[in-house]
């Protein structure tokens, strides 16, 4: 059996990746320090003999016994609310954490795929964003802690690839949504759904003319899976190119949820990108991948998921206290 280490395993994307690799018959080692993740996302895997969980901070030395064939490095705070609350930890997991995992990959002769982000393009001057675009990032702005950590992650990954011949892959993930997200972590889809479920007005930052594109989790996991098993070592965008403005999107959520509330407007946060749309030509050509799930279909699945949670479960999806971590 092939063995894979997945960091950030208790998080949104990591937990869905654990499910996929278990379903494909891998031995899966999940690793997480639970700073933004939740063990409930993977507790269904605990009884399985081909799953083990390591409660560990990847910015410290990482050890996994025995052979290791693949590493997926997904540990990192990912939402603006999270990384603005824990900026230094965000920089450390992208830098020291990545360094530790590259070292482990080298020691084990494993292939490593690292989770980068569309945020490496910053507030883009090229639209849609293709992989050749270098980005427009403010290194000293509040969001720089995330964007620059990921840019460093890409840089050191390519250095290990070129200098040590390490077998590496880089995925640039665009906004992805699905079950297991937290309701108040600042990401648009769960934020709007949480507000609709609580009967609150939907908050749009700025005038709502900024654009986003949202990829359903199953499509994202499929893209990552195909990239891992491809021969391609430069970064690849994985995301849904179907773009919408935030204002239109808020109205879609109002129609889907049937909420009687309205849209309210608040000032735009600093360095919030005005547009975001992946050019997925490479993913199509190299991986034969493109998203399959329409936004209306994916949003309904996720809204039904949140509605199916008990009040206690929903409450848990609201609260996050980093002060004790």
Based on CB atoms, which residue is closest to ligand NAD, 35 or 137? Answer: 35
SS3 assignment, position 100: helix
From candidates 176, 213, 237, 257, binder to ligand NAD by CB under 6 A = 176
Running DSSP on this structure, what letter comes out for residue 73?
Answer: E
- Known catalytic residue at 83: no
Binders in 104-133 for ligand NAD, by CB under 6 A: 115, 117
Q: Does 213 bind ligand NAD (CB under 6 A)?
A: no
**From 83, 121, 146, 160, the catalytic residue:** 146
Question: Which helix (H) or strand (E) is 126 found in, with range?
Answer: none
Based on CB atoms, which residue is closest to ligand NAD, 259 or 303? Answer: 303
Structure tokens at 226: 């195909």
Question: What is the distance between the alpha carbons of residues 174 and 212, in angstroms, rounded to a whole number?
Answer: 9
Task: Give min distance, CB of 262 to ligand NAD, in A.
Answer: 27
CA-based R_g, the chain, Å: 19
Q: Are 75 and 12 in contact (CB under 8 A)?
A: no
Based on CB atoms, which residue is closest to ligand NAD, 111 or 259? Answer: 111
Q: Does 145 bind ligand NAD (CB under 6 A)?
A: no
Print the binding letters for residues 264-303 with ligand NAD: x by CB under 6 A, - otherwise: ----------------------------------------
Question: What is the distance between the alpha carbons of residues 30 and 72, in angstroms, rounded to a whole number?
Answer: 10
From candidates 3, 4, 6, 11, binder to ligand NAD by CB under 6 A = 11
Q: Does 147 bind ligand NAD (CB under 6 A)?
A: no
Length of the chain: 325
Maximum Cα–Cα distance across the chain: 58
Structure tokens at 129: 């964003």
Choose one: 34-42, 197-205, 285-293, 294-302; the region binding ligand NAD (CB under 6 A): 34-42
Q: Are 278 and 174 in contact (CB under 8 A)?
A: yes
Structure tokens at 54: 């390591």
Q: Are 216 and 277 in contact (CB under 8 A)?
A: no
- What angle (nearest 5°) sits at the alpha carbon of residue 249, between those of residues 246 and 254? 130
Task: Give min distance, CB of 47 to ligand NAD, in A.
Answer: 20
Binders in 69-98 for ligand NAD, by CB under 6 A: 74-78, 93, 97
Task: Give min distance, CB of 164 to ligand NAD, in A.
Answer: 22
From candidates 22, 51, 59, 129, binder to ligand NAD by CB under 6 A = 59
Task: Give min distance, CB of 215 to ligand NAD, in A.
Answer: 8
Strands 243-245 and 211-213, how do they pair? antiparallel
Q: Does 39 bind ligand NAD (CB under 6 A)?
A: no
Q: Are 226 and 250 in contact (CB under 8 A)?
A: no
Q: Given the rule CB under 6 A, which residues bind ligand NAD?
A: 7-8, 10-14, 32-37, 57-59, 74-78, 93, 97, 115, 117, 173, 175-176
Catalytic residue IDs: 146
């Amino acid at each position: 059996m092939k063995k894979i280490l997945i960091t950030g395993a208790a998080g949104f994307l990591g937990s869905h990746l654990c499910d996929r690799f278990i379903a494909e018959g891998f031995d899966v080692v999940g690793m997480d320090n639970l700073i933004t993740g939740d063990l409930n996302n993977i507790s269904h895997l605990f009884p399985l003999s081909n799953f083990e969980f390591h409660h560990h901070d990847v910015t410290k030395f990482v050890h996994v016994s025995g052979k290791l064939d693949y590493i997926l490095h997904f540990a990192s705070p990912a939402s603006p609310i999270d990384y603005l609350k824990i900026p230094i930890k965000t920089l450390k997991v992208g830098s020291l954490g990545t360094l530790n995992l590259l070292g482990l990959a080298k020691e084990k002769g494993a292939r490593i795929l690292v989770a980068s982000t569309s945020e490496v393009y910053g507030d883009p001057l090229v639209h849609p964003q293709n992989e050749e675009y270098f980005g427009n990032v403010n290194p000293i702005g509040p969001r720089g802690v995330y964007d620059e950590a990921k840019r460093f992650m890409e840089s050191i990954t390519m250095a290990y690839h070129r200098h040590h011949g390490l077998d590496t892959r880089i995925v640039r993930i665009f906004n992805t949504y699905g079950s297991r997200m937290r309701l108040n972590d600042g990401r648009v889809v769960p934020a709007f759904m949480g507000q609709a479920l609580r009967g609150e007005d939907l908050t749009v930052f700025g005038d709502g003319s900024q654009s986003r594109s949202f990829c359903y989790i199953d499509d994202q996991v499929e893209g990552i899976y195909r990239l891992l098993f491809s021969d391609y070592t430069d970064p690849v965008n994985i995301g849904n190119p179907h773009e919408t403005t935030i204002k239109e999107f808020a109205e879609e959520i109002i129609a889907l949820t049937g909420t009687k509330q309205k849209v309210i407007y608040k000032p735009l946060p600093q360095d919030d990108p005005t547009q975001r749309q992946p050019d997925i030509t490479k993913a199509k050509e190299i991986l034969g991948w493109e998203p399959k799930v329409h936004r209306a279909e994916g949003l309904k699945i996720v809204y039904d998921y949140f509605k199916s949670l008990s009040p206690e479960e929903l409450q848990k999806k609201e609260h996050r206290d980093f002060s004790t971590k």
